[in-house]
Structures are given as structure tokens and as C-alpha cells.
Amino acid sequence: MALWSAQRPLESCRTPAHDSLLFLLLSFKWVLLSRAQTADTGQGVMTPRLQRTSQDLSWQRSEPSIILPRALQVTEKKACPSGKETHVVDENLAFYEEWELEACVDGALLTEQMDRVNAIPFTYQQLDIFKHKLDEFYPQGYPESLIQHLNYFFLEVTPHDIHKWNVTSLETVKSLLKVSKGRKMDAQVAALIARYLVGGGQLDKATLDTLASFHPTYLCFLSPEQLRSVQQDVVWTARPQDLDSCHPPQMNILYSKARIAFQNMSGSEYFARIKPFLGGASTEDLRALVPQNISMDIATFKTLRKEVLLPLTIAEVQKLLGPNLVELKVEEGNSPVRDWIFRQRQDDLDSLGLGLHGGIPNGYLVLDLNFREALSGGPHLLGPGPVLTAILTLLLALILN
């Protein structure tokens, strides 16, 4: 303002545009002052004139955004105060401000004295700061020399952290399982087991027994041999998502355990329990479900192994699915439903009234399903022998008909 008055009188330079600009600047200043008052008193103050003016201008502009100086936007990293430099983890650190811990403690010190970190009753906020310092110091994951001494600090880590680790010691696994017990650490335990097994580690019977006290999110990380040693009761708490990544050999073992565990149930109660494990069932197991009126949903039907599903007749599938049979039409182009349809006679499929297509045409015989798949596969070429066999088979079928 002083610069303007030195050049010419203020009144001489006033125009409607200048007045509007001046008013906006004053309004911005008021917003800052009003927000400061609100922070101090919990109440905002707005004069009737400003209220009215703000409403009048609302159609012209959106809510003003306040651009604070960069010094106020970014909190500068403070230096460790003189006299508070830290060379040992002791009780004095429990009385440091959080910013002082950030400034005065480093990852190397925490690594060397992790046992002392666990011995002092730090707050959750202070432990979070320590974890942040360790994560900065080890961006690629903690070394095993530190993991071996984590003890209760393990409760601060996440599954994402653990997937960066290299764990080779069974004793380390056991110690971390011990501190995790009863603390809702199922996801971390599953990640720990996965990292240990990926490195070629082997679990003993005692460790498998300890794992039974956790939710079985770790099941698909175990080998079939290890699954055979898992306690029978583990199948009672397994959820479908816990089995999503299991391979057929693993599902075979788990299904056998589940069938024994639920053998005293029947009907819908048995089916509700055994359903997540049906990926390990045999054709005979499925046929045993047919008379129980279970009404299998199509999602479960799709989890059945193809080689187990293919021998089922149309009548058996109709009884397994019950009212859910209509869902076959939605899945007719997807395996394993598609593969099962290819195995059925078209006139039998037509009798279902679902409009299913792709079955064996009337008057044709298919002696070998693999031969049929070779014909539909495209890139497979048949030599003179198989072609002649196919022609003779078709001629025989025509003669017989």
C-alpha cells in the first residue's frame, strides 16, 4: 500500500476491478482469521455482511482454497536436541517426545538392542516410530539376525513386511509363533510359515500342533506330507478362502480329514461342512451325495475336478444341483461344465429343457474322449492310422443303427 501511495493517490487508481480484487483479498484474510478463531474457541464467527456477500458470490466461485506458505505445509525434520543423543536403549527413551524419538533413534541402534526394546514398556505410538526407523534402515526386509531377536516386536509387523524376509531357522519360527498365540496374528503367521517353507524349511510335529491354535490360513503352504500330520480338528475352522490356492494333492488330504471329522453328520448339515473340501472328492463320493437332496450351488460344482465330474450321468447331476440345474446354461462354455456337456448325448441334454448345446449328436459313438478332444483342439493332426480307425468306427455305427 505504501508503494501505491508513493506513485499516485489511492483513490485515483480505484476501479470496479480493483474493488473486487481488494474485497477478495480481505475475504481471504478473514477466512484465515475465522479458522484460527474456530481452532481456539471451537466456534466460527461471521458478520451478517460477510455472510450475505459470501452467499451472493457463491454462484461465481467455489469454496476458496487457502494456500499456506510452504514452511507451514511441510513439517521440517528436526535435529536431535543437544544432550539427548541416544547410544543405548533404556528407560529414558520412554519419556522422549515422539519427534525426539524420530530424531534421536536410528535403525542400527534398534537392531543391536532389540532385546532391550522388548524389555521396556514403550507405548504403541513409540513402537510404531521404532518400526518406521527399522523399515527405513532395511527397505528390502529385515535380516534373519534381527528376526531371531524380534520377540514381542513381531506383533508390530505386517504380512507385507514378512513376505520380504528370509527365514531359515525353525527355532525362530517357533519363538514367533509363541508370542503370536492368542493375539489375532493369523495373517502374519501364515506369511511366516510361507517364507520358511519357501526357503526349504521343514516343520516338525510340535510346530504343526502349535499351528492348530491359529486360524488355518496357512494350509495351502503345507506339503501333502505335512498336511497328513496336521491335527484333525483344523478342518472345523477352515474357510473356503483358506483353501483357494490349494493344489489337488493337498485337497485330497484335506478332504479325507474333513470326511472323517464330519462323518457323524448327514444331509444339508454334512454338505455345508464338507462343501469347501469337495475339490478333493472322488466320483464315488459325489454319487454318495446324490440321494441326500443337497442342492449344490454352481460355484461349488465348478470347483470339482474335471476327471471326477465327467463320469456323472445327467440324472446324477440333476439330483446334485436340484433347483440350481438352470445355472448350467450360464456355464456351458466354461470348464468343467463344458467338458461334462461334451461327454453327454445331445438328446439327453435336450430333455433338460435348458438349451444346452455341444453334446454328442444322435447316431454317433465316442469310444475315446481324448480322441474327441483332439478333433476339437484344432492344432492336433491325425495320421493315417487314427483317421482310418475313425472312419471304420463311424461306418460300424451306421451299420448297427
d(CA 212, CA 69): 57
Indicate the angle between helix axes 186-198 and 170-180, nearest 10 degrees: 180
- pLDDT for res 354: 94
Mean pLDDT (the chain, rounded): 80
Residue 348 has pLDDT above 60, yes or no: yes
- pLDDT for res 391: 58
What would you measure as the largest C-alpha separation in the chain, in angstroms?
A: 117
Record the cell numbers describing residue 239, joined without a space: 474357510
Confidence bin at 67 (pLDDT 50/70/90)? very low
Range of weakest confidence among 80-89, 269-278, 387-396: 387-396
Question: 196-199 long-range contacts, Cβ below 8 Å, gap at least 24?
Answer: 196/167, 196/168, 196/170, 197/221, 197/222, 197/223, 199/166, 199/167, 199/168
Distances (CA, A) of 71 to 18, 75, 80: 30, 7, 20
- pLDDT for res 298: 95
Q: What is the mean pLDDT of the segment spanning 201-209?
A: 94
pTM for this structure? 0.67
d(CA 11, CA 30): 23
